[in-house]
Amino acid sequence: MIRVAITTDRFGAAAPPFADRGLEPVPMPCIRFEPAGPQVLDRARQAALGADLLILTSARSVELLWPGGSMPGVDVAAVGEETAAAVTTRRGRVTVLGRSGLASLTDKMMDRLGSSRVVFPHAAGTDPVPLETLRARAAGLTEFEIYRMVPVAPGPFPVRAVAFASPSAVAGWFLSHDLEGLVVGVIGPATWAAVARHREPDVAAPHPSHRSLAQALASYLEVDH
């Protein structure tokens, strides 16, 4: 069975799609999650209550802000099926769904951005190019950096392929490994760019989810599951 390094710190959520596709997921976390302080999180929650549109680009943001239950009853623009699922689990209302990152989500929201109170809680180090586009188009934008991902070096383990879901994970990988001889799969354009500084990735997920990446990697590796 082909071993694939899972570089997120959320192995339990990310690994099953790879196993379902006949791959052997191996936990090699390359990032450490650090939430913002409680005052920042409280301000983000309060701002969301008065928003016309809430932008969420990761399930982690949803879980961090509303860990125990319901979200505010405001319109949500979400990136990816995993984020949308986290919203609906908390009785949130997804009205815009993007499938390839913040840039494409911004394009889908164009008719609302100019006249809406928009709240965007996100990770520190969010890709600056689409973020600047969003800032230019959304006059009523309020942002909160609610967590950051710190690169960490993964331990040694023999794998044939590696799955990256964030630029931070790429940075962590290179603290102790290189990509020589590996099949590399990525989620999202920012992660693609982070890997491409070293070498071009072999596989890109069509949609921003580990399930999509697992399917693409299995097809590339011609795994019969």
CA distances from 109 to 44, 52, 71, 96, 106 (A): 21, 12, 21, 7, 5
Give per-residue pLDDT as tens, 127-185.
888 999 999 999 899 999 999 999 999 999 999 999 999 999 999 999 999 999 999 99
The residues, ordered by sequence, that sit 6+ positions from 9 with a Cβ below 8 Å of its Cβ are 29, 31, 32, 33
- Average pLDDT score over the chain: 94
Which of the two residues, 14 and 99, has the higher pLDDT score?
Answer: 14
Give per-residue pLDDT as tens, 83-130.
999 999 999 999 999 877 888 899 989 888 888 999 999 999 888 889
pLDDT band of 46, cuts 50, 70, 90 = very high
Domains within the chain, CATH numbers bracketed: 3-32+150-220 (3.40.50.10090), 54-145 (3.40.50.10090)
Looking at the DSSP assignment, which residues form a beta bridge with residue 164?
Answer: 186
Q: Dihedral, CA atoms, 183, 187, 193, 199, nearest 10 degrees?
A: 0
**Which two tokens mark 31?**
């990032």
Q: Dihedral, CA atoms, 108, 165, 208, 43, nearest 10 degrees?
A: -50
Helices (H), 66-143: 81-89, 102-108, 110-113, 128-137
Which of the two residues, 225 and 87, has the higher pLDDT score?
Answer: 87
Give the 3-state secondary structure of residue 176: coil
Give the 3-state secondary structure of residue 203: strand
pLDDT of 224 reads: 63
Give per-residue pLDDT as tens, 59-70.
999 999 999 888
